[in-house]
Amino acid sequence: MSLRAELYCYFCGHGSGEVLIATKSRRPSPEQLKAAYAAVTGPRAPIWDQGEQPVCPRCGGQLFLEKYEQTVRRPAAPTQASRAS
């Protein structure tokens, strides 16, 4: 089972993008969030400033867990989006 979560900045509206977190709990822990966002690179990625609280890369404000939901089912098989190249 996994959670779909996103960190969001209430100060400037910056969204850090969704991540999938493999967990059995109903809410991801800070450690799990940090591990999940370690895979996110680039200007959108949140910054962990030594502590457990991620901060916004744009304004330096605190990021909040905007939404998280359990994804019980695996996503459907990929559609036929194959492009001949």
Q: Is 27 helix (H, G, I), strand (E, B) or coil?
A: coil
- Smallest separation, CB 36 to Zn ion (Å): 19
- Asked if 53 touches Zn ion (CB under 5 A), the answer is no
CA torsion angle for 24, 42, 53, 37 (degrees, to 10)?
10
- Asked if 61 touches Zn ion (CB under 5 A), the answer is yes
Those residues with Cβ within 8 angstroms of residue 49's Cβ, 6 or more apart along the chain or in another chain? 55
Return the bridge partners of 7, or none.
Answer: 65
- Asked if 17 touches Zn ion (CB under 5 A), the answer is no
CA distance 2 to 10: 25
- Smallest separation, CB 65 to Zn ion (Å): 15
- Smallest separation, CB 33 to Zn ion (Å): 17
- Asked if 58 touches Zn ion (CB under 5 A), the answer is yes
Residues forming the site for Zn ion (CB under 5 A): 9, 11-12, 14, 56, 58-59, 61
